């Protein structure tokens, strides 16, 4: 999942602004469990299968986020990415 928007207020705003839906892990608000209803059902985000959050400049390289998507303020023109797995970067390169 890659989101490229003009100036979203947060990473979650970028995600929804790009047309995606999300839900949090029950009992852990702020920890994304599902994007566009996947995985189904929410697996509780164990260490081997969770949504990791990434940033990049256009045409740059993915960098793992050090803060949650609800607290991160994307820079105008930057690219946000999400990958499901055990923390690997998104398989799609940031758009140029």
CB 63 within 8 A of CB 44: no
Report CA-CA distances (Å) from 10 to 5, 41, 70.
11, 26, 6
Q: What is the pLDDT of residues 57-93, one digit of tens each?
A: 999 999 999 999 999 999 888 899 999 999 999 999 9
Question: Over 70: is that where the pLDDT of 6 sits?
Answer: no
Q: Would you state the structure tokens that stand for residue 17, as one six-digit string?
A: 């602004």
E strand map for the chain: 2-3, 22-25, 28-35, 50-56, 63-64, 79-85
What pTM does this model have? 0.89
Q: What is the pLDDT of residues 34-58, one digit of tens each?
A: 999 999 999 998 889 999 999 999 9
């Amino acid at each position: 999942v890659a989101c490229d928007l003009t100036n979203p207020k947060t990473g979650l705003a970028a995600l929804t602004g790009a047309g995606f839906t999300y839900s949090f892990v029950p009992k852990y608000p702020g920890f994304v469990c599902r994007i566009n209803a996947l995985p189904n059902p929410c697996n509780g985000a164990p260490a081997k299968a969770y949504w990791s959050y990434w940033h990049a400049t256009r045409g740059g390289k993915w960098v793992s986020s050090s803060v949650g998507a609800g607290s991160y303020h994307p820079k105008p023109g930057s690219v946000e990415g999400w990958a499901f797995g055990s923390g690997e970067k998104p398989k799609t390169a940031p758009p140029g």
